[in-house]
Amino acid sequence: MSQGWIDDLRAIVGEGSLLLEPSDLEPYSRDETASGVVARLPAAVAKPASEAQVAEVVRFCADRGIPVTARGGGTGLAGACVPSPGGIVLSLERLDRILWIDVHNHTITVQAGVPMGALFAEAKKAGLFFPPHPGDEGAFAGGVVATNAGGARAVKYGTVKRFLTGMRVVLADGTALDLGGRLLKSSTGYHLMDLMIGSEGTLGIITQVTFSLLANPACLRTLVVPFETIDQATAAVEQLLNRGITPCAVEFVEHAAIRCSERLLAKTWPARGGNASLMFILDGSDEEEVMGAAASVASVMEANGALDVLVAEGEAKQAEILEIRSMIYEALRPGAVELFDVSLPRSEIPDHVRRVHELEREHGIPLPTYGHAADGNVHTQSMRVSIDDGVLGGEIKGWEEKHERVRAGIYADAIARGGVISGEHGIGLVKKDFLAMNVGERAVRVMKAIKRALDPKGILNPGKIFDLDGPVTPPRA
């Protein structure tokens, strides 16, 4: 960047909020994508302190044709916030104010840079809660919307798009739009807000969001139910949903994956027998309601081949179970290449998981698998090291090629079953070469037409989700 440009940018965001040194830029070169191979240094990192400054930075980039990549908490798993060549990172970390919790209408309005952990805490203080829950509470509110982050509670409560009621977003020309409000319903023109959800910073930069909230459940209960096979576990979930019982969350975990997390944390998963567990979170407005639901879950599970039904006693034990489940990803990560994120019709889970383990045997790399049993979202972690009873071992020879083949096999199987290649992580850089194969060339053509209409100069996070001009290989550090 020329000194003139640097001076201009510094005049917008202030002396200390423009980073130029490679060591300062490095943390902004990547997200949490497992392999760590997707990374690229930006030319600069600008940290605006207000929406007006965001708009000025975007106008600066538009005037000069400089790519600008919005960055939230950097917790993404698809490389969506990895900078473009020669581009600027616009970090939203200074837009970190919780603006308004409206206890009458059950909404919370925050700037885009508020971490979800802070949002959850603020809501809880008011006796309210935000149902969608991404795996990493360091994710920023704006990023959760921009990447359509999911979480475990979609079956009972729906995903982020159900709870997003308002948004402010800076467009490619540096103007800001104020969309929605504190409203549960609107049929007032095109749903621009829904178009922004999951657009990964390619159509606009979200600066503020309003979410609707629900009353905090007075009572929560966690159950762990082991099964001999994943097939039995999935069939039991279907029976439960048929009965009209919809838990807050229904996770499935293979015990082989749980072992790794147990080792990392030195904690013990309550179920020992069988190959897989279901983990239920039940919530409700009083103890009686939740205990009634727990009894119903237990009876349906026992009638469908459960080896046991374990109810966590006390908050500490519940927290421990959730921690073991949520740390699987971290436990596997040191030896992982990629975390897959396919979404399927939920009845397809057992056959898909069977196919995953065929690929495991065929290619000789471990593929521990877990996910959201009731909403069909399956996570398989592709490994470059062996795993022995929860302990990561040595690097597997030729893992790169094996991994590519496993990915092709997993995507092909998911698509054949009516699924998609991303349920909640997004496309970003790491999946863009597979988008058209999944949704079809025509759909991608329509997406590109919308991109061109909203960002004619192509400055907003170019090269993510798709390339406007032909495919590009993801950059490797």
Closer by beta carbon to its own copies, 245 or else 322 = 245
Phi first, then psi, for residue 249 (nearest 5°) are -150, 145
Q: Of residues 11, 99, 121, 218, which one binds its own copies by CB under 8 A?
A: 218
Closer by beta carbon to its own copies, 70 or else 392 = 70
The footprint of its own copies on residues 120-149 (CB under 8 A) is 127, 147-149
450 touching its own copies, by CB under 8 A: yes
Closer by beta carbon to its own copies, 216 or else 386 = 216
The footprint of its own copies on residues 353-392 (CB under 8 A) is 372, 375-377
Span interacting with its own copies, options 18-26, 55-63, 215-223, 356-364, rule CB under 8 A = 215-223
Minimum CB distance to its own copies, residue 469 (Å): 17
Strand-pair category, 310-311 with 336-339: unpaired
Span interacting with its own copies, options 51-59, 221-229, 384-392, 423-431, rule CB under 8 A = 423-431
Strand-pair category, 377-383 with 342-343: antiparallel
Span interacting with its own copies, options 46-54, 386-394, 434-442, 467-475, rule CB under 8 A = 434-442
CA separation (Å) from 257 to 51, 76, 402, 441, 467?
Answer: 43, 21, 20, 36, 35
Q: Of residues 135, 247, 390, 423, which one binds its own copies by CB under 8 A?
A: 423
DSSP structural state of residue 83: P
Q: Are 88 and 61 in contact (CB under 8 A)?
A: yes
Helix, strand, or coil (residue 329)? helix
Minimum CB distance to its own copies, residue 325 (Å): 18
Sign of CA dihedral 148, 153, 158, 160: negative
142 membership: H or E segment, kind and range: helix 141-146
Q: How far apart are the first and last CA of the chain?
A: 21
471 touching its own copies, by CB under 8 A: no
Q: Are 75 and 134 in contact (CB under 8 A)?
A: yes
Q: Of residues 243, 272, 405, 476, which one binds its own copies by CB under 8 A?
A: 243
Minimum CB distance to its own copies, residue 204 (Å): 9
DSSP structural state of residue 460: B
232 touching its own copies, by CB under 8 A: no
What string of DSSP letters covers 181-214?
-S-S---SS--HHHHHTT-TTSS-EEEEEEEE-E
Name the token pair of 111.
């700037």
Closer by beta carbon to its own copies, 3 or else 188 = 188
Helix, strand, or coil (residue 433)? helix
214 touching its own copies, by CB under 8 A: yes
- Taking Cα atoms as reference points, which of 417, 395, 416, 405 lies closest to residue 358? 405
The footprint of its own copies on residues 147-176 (CB under 8 A) is 147-150, 154-155, 158-159, 161-162, 171, 175
438 touching its own copies, by CB under 8 A: yes
The footprint of its own copies on residues 244-303 (CB under 8 A) is 244-246, 284-285, 288-289, 292, 296
Q: Are 332 and 260 in contact (CB under 8 A)?
A: yes
316 touching its own copies, by CB under 8 A: no
